[in-house]
Amino acid sequence: MYEIMTAEEAVKLIKDGDCICVNSFVGIESPVELHEAIYKRFKETGSPAHLTMVSSAGFGVWDENRNAEGYIRDGAVDRLICGHFGAMLSTKKLILEDRFEAYNLPLGCISHAIRAQAGGLPGALSKVGLDIFVDPRIEGPGINNISKDDRYVKLVNVDGEEFLYYKLPKMTIALIKGTAADRFGNISFDDMYMSGDALSICQAVRANGGKVIVQVDKLVRKPARPRNAIIPGCLVDAIVVIEPEPSESGYEALTGSFEIPSGQWDMWVEIIDRLSSTHRRNNVTADIIAKRATEELHEEDIVNIGIGIPENISRFAKAKGILNKITLTVESGGVGGFPASGPVFGAMIGAASVYDMANQFDLYDNGGLDICFMGALEVDRYGNVNSHRGPGAYAGIGGFANITAKTPTVVFCLTFDTKGLKVIERDDGSLKIVNEGDIAKFVDEVHSISFSGKRAMANGQRVLYITERCVFELTEKGLKLIEVYPGIDMEKDIIDRIPFPVLIDEALKKGNKK
């Protein structure tokens, strides 16, 4: 039977050595007050200590002095297992200083492993991750020098096929953020941007003899409609009521509390960007890439658009008249709306459906998307892409590996080089490279593999690399240059600047620059 508690009372249920699973998504829907109560208790008593933290998509709030950052920094946590660390500003720096163990697994694979544990299985099989960094034959999931535990990802053979086997520690504490609890303890998520892995986390923790702690905005007397009660009260141990601070009305667009036609998406994007201090800077380079990428969209496509340069695709899709004829999706479970970005990445404007995150990755892992558009830090001679690890910096793979693993058409949107690159578009539509960037993006070998060209070819996927000056396509023999934009000198601006040989389309050899 659940009890209503204060945050301070609830976190006393957490013991030294517990494995805490947090239901959040990058920077949204984290039970902030519960985390801060843990930190307060740790500062006062030194407990709970030696914690393991698990989260499919990470649990920061873009503030190194809030949420879990304090108790992680001060030594309460021995290890972290997350799909993404982007919103954990302090933590992701400490990881590279070897302050504690940290493991990065594909977001969807963690979600599926949580669901497996809820069902009494020790782990989950997946083909996602084969031939990329997480594969034990390549690097394994450990991020830093002290993360050597090989239990979390294993290569296995089932009926003659290779899989990766993802296994999580036995989870003993659930930290969940919901909207309301009724008098039976049932938890609804009506005003939340997503429900994530909430139900599976609670089922797993309960089966493991642990404690489920849920932070809600309010108590309601009338029971939720059964379909809206994501977590039944019988799974809940502690309910903590934290009345939220009043939020700007624009954020209501992300809760699905009213219908938003596709024609109003732009308006709400602007409102939410202003509220979250997100500034979408249009620039010639990104626009060139996004405009060309949009040509790959077709009516009725089911699509995932990544952050960064790909976000610009939506503007050109609207101008082309196709935006309301495709179905956009986001990793957290949203389908049929417009993905938000910045601090509220994971939320969706005007979603038609928001379901459990594991179900979204069922769709992704099994090729349910028609096309995806992703960013890239590096591309090498084999078509491999690094998107998760830069020099001295680490964000994590997130849902990238799942999204690109089986999608029939994968489009990478990236500049040819960076840091100083400047391109102008002449009045006749032709392009001129004014300044080249100091950092090459096409390299002989990527520093870490987020996407395997070899695996894509074996899967029969179509893979494009769209830049501000040209387009490459992946072939069995490597990259093939298939388009050069007007005004670009193929030899000087492309071939001479790539450190490895590329194939050249026959039409380009004849001087027909499409």
Residues 6+ apart with CB under 8 A from 494: 416, 469, 470, 481, 484, 488
Structure tokens, 278: 């997100």
Q: Which long-range contacts (CB under 8 A, 24 or more apart) does 143-146 make?
A: 143/95, 143/96, 143/102, 143/103, 143/104, 143/394, 144/95, 144/96, 144/97, 144/98, 144/101, 144/102, 145/98, 146/98, 146/100, 146/101
- Coil vs helix vs strand at 33: helix
Closest CA to 174 of 20, 309, 344, 46: 20
Site of tokens 């093939």:
480
Return the structure tokens found at 352: 């038609």
Asked if 331 is an active-site residue, the reply is yes
8 A C-beta contact, residue 239 and residue 2 = yes
Query: Which residue of the set 36, 311, 331, 468 is catalytic?
Result: 331
Residue carrying the six token digits 């992703």: 374
> Would you say 437 and 415 are in contact if contact means Cβ atoms under 8 Å apart?
yes
- Check residue 10 and report its DSSP letter: H
The span from the CA of 200 to the CA of 179, in Å, is 18
DSSP-based three-state secondary structure for 181: strand
The phi and psi torsions of 405 (rounded to 5 degrees) equal -65, -35
d(CA 458, CA 483): 24
The DSSP H or E segment spanning 108 is helix 107-118
SS3 154: strand
Nearest to 148 by CA among 212, 103, 91: 103
Which residue, chain included where needed, has tokens 């409609």?
A: 225
Nearest to 232 by CA among 272, 181, 302, 196: 181
Q: What is the DSSP code (8-state) at residue 492?
A: I
Nearest-CA neighbor of 369 among 301, 307, 306, 311?
Answer: 301
* Burial (CB count within 10 angstroms: exposed 0-12, middle 13-18, buried 19+), residue 300: exposed
Q: Who's near 105: CB < 8 A, 6+ residues apart?
A: 81, 82, 83, 113, 129, 134, 141, 152, 153, 166, 397
> Which residues form the catalytic set?
331
